[in-house]
């Protein structure tokens, strides 16, 4: 188990329902989760550098060029951009 997950569990054990932790990872890093973060649904948030900066890592420029941007706009004005691979583009 990652240290972030241990910390989140410790916070919940110590503070109960007053603590709402979230560990953002590759599986739950979705527009809906990011939107719920902006609306204040969590008291503590852990995000690894790999998740937060994944699109900015050197060497991914070609993959970024082969991706389409999907913009999701929520009723409160929050805008989220997600990159989706273009079908048929080969990986190198």
How confident is the model over 6-52, as pLDDT tens digits? 888 898 889 988 899 999 988 898 899 999 999 999 999 998 887 87
How many domains does the chain divide into?
Answer: 1
**How far is CA 31 from each of CA 6, 9, 28, 38, 84, rounded to the nearest angstrom?**
25, 24, 9, 11, 13
The reply to whether 90 falls in a domain is no
Instruction: Establish if 75 belongs to a structural domain.
Output: yes
- What pLDDT does 45 receive? 92
**Which comes out higher in pLDDT, residue 13 or 84?**
13
Structural domain contains residue 92: no
47 falls within a domain:
yes
In a domain, 11, yes or no: yes
> Is residue 72 in some structural domain?
yes
Separation of alpha carbons 82 and 71, rounded Å: 6
- pLDDT value at residue 36: 94
pTM for the predicted model, two decimal places: 0.65
Q: Which domain holds residue 30?
A: 3-85
* Domain-embedded: residue 70: yes
- Would 19 be classed as within a structural domain? yes
């Amino acid at each position: 188990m990652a240290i972030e997950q241990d910390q989140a569990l410790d916070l919940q054990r110590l503070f109960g329902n007053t603590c709402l932790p979230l560990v953002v990872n590759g599986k739950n890093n979705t527009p809906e989760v990011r939107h719920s973060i902006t609306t204040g649904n969590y008291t503590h948030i852990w995000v690894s550098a790999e998740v937060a900066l994944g699109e900015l890592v050197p060497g991914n420029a070609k993959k970024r060029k082969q991706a389409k941007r999907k913009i999701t706009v929520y009723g409160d004005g929050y805008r989220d951009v997600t990159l989706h691979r273009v079908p048929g583009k080969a990986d190198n």
